[in-house]
Amino acid sequence: MIKKLIGLSLILLSIQNFAQKNNTSPYSFFGIGEETALKTVEEMSMGQIGTAFNSTYQISFTNPASLAHLRFTTYTLAVENKAIQIDDGKNTDNASNASLSYFAIGVPLGKSAGFSFGIQPNSTVGYSLTEEFKNTQGDLTAINNFNGEGGTNRVFLGLGYKLPKNISIGIEAAYVFGNIENTLLNRRDGVQLATMHKTNSTIKGLTAKVGIQYNTKITDKLTLKAGILANLKNNLSNKGREVLFSLLNTNTSIISPRDTLIDNSFDNTIKKPLKTALSVGVGELNKWYAGVEYSFNDPLEFTDGVLNSNTKVSYEKANRISVGGFYIPKINSISSYWQRITYRAGFNYKQTGLMVDNTTINDFGISFGVGLPIGKKLSNLNLGFELGKRGEINNSLIKENYFNFRLGLTLNDRWFIKPKIQ
């Protein structure tokens, strides 16, 4: 076990650049970036359901109450590639980004409890936008270049415990941290100097969520699963520096400040509201499962004018509806490898809570994937695919068509087992 812990520590040290995960979406321009779905590849492939789901050999990032059902020590990590096509009604462009998604370990504690810990992205920023201004003759008079990168990540620790009456409860605490850099370069035709507005933000804070699950047999084979999750209200600190300076108005990428016009530090707060999720599903153990999930939360709030200074942007209540499940033809088949494969599919529709020019930004996606067995144990190589659309072209907005590919590895082992004397 010591060798395993050393190996895991080396892996954690090797991903020290994890916090610099970027994005490719223009919608990551707003707030602290695009919120990451805190889900495993398996959950994402089932339309993002997970509040009611639990397994003896899979970790669920959604509801910590599911950890009480773990019977195997489970290691899981994943990478993903996001590809999007951006359409503003006049032009289209393509972008892609590959990155590490998460790394986590789940460990059972006897027959009634389990815990997990790991690291994963919390939000991502990565955009490059150009705004052009023309006179009545159609001549270019000014250009604004917007650029941003960075994001936030979370290190988490979760614990689940079984109570009587087929009920399990769980709690998870996480530390959120990260850096975001935003720049705006304004250049005007015929003017010798351009101006650049630049903000560097350091974001950190603690978050917590609690969950409950209920499992009951409705027939000899079928099990009903229900779950409730509450991501508690929390505040994130936002500290940094805001500068405005002049520079030579050239096309070169070299930034050489001349006169500093503004140089201020700021210390503000990001208020994240209570987020609630409800889910119910039915299935047969190691055979199939189908579920539905609904989540909702109040608007995100900012106490500063740095991350929320755009008057065309506001935040409203958000919600998401998801439907999905899996099917395994025959998990213990000896004659056919294909019958031991897990097939997953689902879809979700989300009102993101972001409003631009009084237009709500919605997101719709369909997903599917497979779990490929590895060796003789319950380990799996998980492939996930997601197709979707976010935003719309109306009111000079941007529509994104995206395709996400995820590759996850789930390995199972048994710890704390006393050796048998032959």
Structural domains present in the chain: 2-413 (2.40.160.60)
pLDDT band of 96, cuts 50, 70, 90: confident
Residue count of the chain, please give it. Answer: 422
The stretch 336-355 carries a mean pLDDT of 94
Looking at residue 276, what is its pLDDT? Answer: 97
Looking at residue 181, what is its pLDDT? Answer: 92
User: In angstroms, rounded to a whole number, what is the distance separating the alpha carbons of residues 277 and 65?
Assistant: 13
Long-range contacts of residues 131-140, Cβ cutoff 8 Å, at least 24 apart: 139/189, 140/189
67 Cβ contact list (under 8 Å, min separation 6): 59, 60, 106, 113, 114, 115, 116, 158, 159, 160, 170
The DSSP call for residue 325 is E
- Whether the CB-CB separation of 152 and 119 falls below 8 Å is answered with no
Looking at residue 42, what is its pLDDT? Answer: 96
The stretch 395-407 carries a mean pLDDT of 89
Joined together, the tokens standing for residue 322 give 């998801």
- Whether the CB-CB separation of 355 and 339 falls below 8 Å is answered with no
3-state secondary structure of 2: helix
3-state secondary structure of 10: helix
User: In angstroms, rounded to a whole number, what is the distance separating the alpha carbons of residues 290 and 281?
Assistant: 5
User: In angstroms, rounded to a whole number, what is the distance separating the alpha carbons of residues 112 and 288?
Assistant: 24
- Express each pLDDT in 99-158 by its tens digit: 889 999 999 999 999 999 999 999 999 888 888 888 888 888 888 888 899 999 999 999
Joined together, the tokens standing for residue 275 give 């987020």
Looking at residue 14, what is its pLDDT? Answer: 43
User: In angstroms, rounded to a whole number, what is the distance separating the alpha carbons of residues 362 and 319?
Assistant: 10
- Express each pLDDT in 302-326 by its tens digit: 876 666 666 678 889 999 999 999 9
Looking at residue 128, what is its pLDDT? Answer: 83
Percent of the chain scoring above 70 in pLDDT? 89
The stretch 18-40 carries a mean pLDDT of 76
Looking at residue 98, what is its pLDDT? Answer: 87
Q: Which of 65, 86, 90 lies closest to 225, judged by CA?
A: 65
Percent of the chain scoring above 90 in pLDDT? 59
Residue appearing with tokens 């409203």: 316
- Express each pLDDT in 45-80 by its tens digit: 999 999 999 999 999 999 999 999 999 999 999 999
No. of H helices and E strands in the chain? 2, 19
User: In angstroms, rounded to a whole number, what is the distance separating the alpha carbons of residues 250 and 185?
Assistant: 11
Average confidence score pLDDT of the chain: 87
The residue among 38 and 308 whose pLDDT is bigger is: 38
| Residue 184 burial (CB count, 10 A) | 17
pLDDT band of 4, cuts 50, 70, 90: very low
Instruction: Please report the sign of the dihedral spanned by the C-alpha atoms of residue 285, residue 335, residue 45, residue 273.
Output: positive
Joined together, the tokens standing for residue 123 give 């939000």
Looking at residue 5, what is its pLDDT? Answer: 42
- Express each pLDDT in 251-305 by its tens digit: 666 677 788 888 999 888 999 999 999 999 999 999 999 999 999 999 988 876 6
Joined together, the tokens standing for residue 315 give 């935040």
Looking at residue 257, what is its pLDDT? Answer: 77
Burial 74-95 (b: 16+ CB within 10 A, else e): bbbbbebebebebbeeeeeeeb
> Above 70 in pLDDT, residue 410?
yes
The stretch 183-203 carries a mean pLDDT of 90
Rounded alpha-carbon distances, angstroms, from residue 383 to 45, 103, 256, 363, 396: 8, 16, 46, 22, 36
Looking at residue 314, what is its pLDDT? Answer: 85
